[in-house]
Amino acid sequence: MFNKNFKRLSLGMMLATALTVSTAPVCVNTSVSASTAQLRLLDVSIDQTSNIAVGTRVTISPEIEGGVGEVAYTYKVILPNGNFETIAAETSSESISYTVSETGIYNFIVEARDEVSLVSDVRECEVVSDKVTIDSVSFDKTSYTKNDKVKITLGVTPASGTAKTKITVTLPSGKKVTVKKLNTKTTASYKVTKKGTYKFTILAKDSKSKVSVTKTIKVK
């Protein structure tokens, strides 16, 4: 009788152990599927990368990977003057076009959003003038007297090719005199022999454009 009861008890324990093992939870590795679903912004490209002139229409295109559900894009830009502008918000378009209207550095911001996450990236581009520019005209002194030598230094940026400059002066009598012929030099000097107002006209020219400015000094 004792042996029978012991056998029954042992059999019950074995069955209980078997049941415990068979009902243990099965672990499934979900890391692969989670990684695949994660939204990633791989790159933001701009179709124009160099010598972008004012008035050019650039296209910004993000490249994404993964994502849960539909992906919406928001395109923004920080202008050269520091102002912030939203080009398009919550759009399904995978690219956007924008016309640059001034010189300087533009920072284009792209945000991509799916049902669970938001990612963003920034791309910078520089816009240059579509014509030669005179950046600076500097005189060596703030005031002049009769028989002083006026020294002029120019800062010029070409839009295409090499920049050349020419300087002429209108004397107090109204007569015009060439101070510097058209060449690549950026310095010149002129001796003022009479009292009165002198108007210096600076012409800058490159292979495709030209521009001029006038600066006035008074001689005591």
User: Domain ranges in the chain?
Assistant: 39-128, 133-219
CA distances from residue 176 to 82, 171, 198 in whole angstroms, order as listed: 43, 6, 10
Residue closest to 48 by CA, chosen among 110, 97, 114, 104: 97
The kind and range of the H/E element at 18 are: helix 2-22
Residue 88, phi-psi category: left (phi > 0), alpha (psi -120 to 50), beta (remainder): beta
Tell the CATH topology of 39-128: Immunoglobulin-like (2.60.40)
Local structure of 212: helix, strand or coil = strand
In this structure, what token pair is assigned to residue 16?
């209980």
- At 172 the pLDDT is 97
Query: What is the mean predicted confidence (pLDDT) over 96-119?
Result: 94
pLDDT > 60? residue 120? yes
Joined tokens for residue 150: 């006026």
Question: Per-residue pLDDT tens for 54-107?
Answer: 889 999 999 999 999 999 999 999 999 999 999 999 999 999 999 999 889 999
3-state secondary structure of 202: strand
Class of the CATH-defined domain 133-219: mainly beta
Model confidence over 154-188: pLDDT tens digits?
999 988 889 999 999 999 999 999 999 999 999 99
- Distance from the Cα of residue 116 to its chain's centroid: 29
| Angstrom distance (rounded) from CA 129 to CA 24 | 72
For the entire predicted model, the pTM comes to: 0.55
Nearest Cα to 77, choosing from 117, 31, 110? Answer: 110
Q: Residue 68 has which token pair?
A: 């849960």
The reply to whether 133-219 shares the fold of 39-128 is: yes
The pair phi, psi for residue 13, each rounded to 5°, is -65, -40
The number of angstroms, rounded, from the C-alpha of 128 to the middle of its chain's C-alpha atoms is: 12
Determine the pLDDT at residue 31.
40
Q: Rounded mean pLDDT of 40-66?
A: 90
The bridge status of strand 72-78 relative to strand 57-65 is unpaired
Provide the sign of the torsion angle of the four alpha carbons 62, 65, 71, 74, taken in this order. Answer: negative
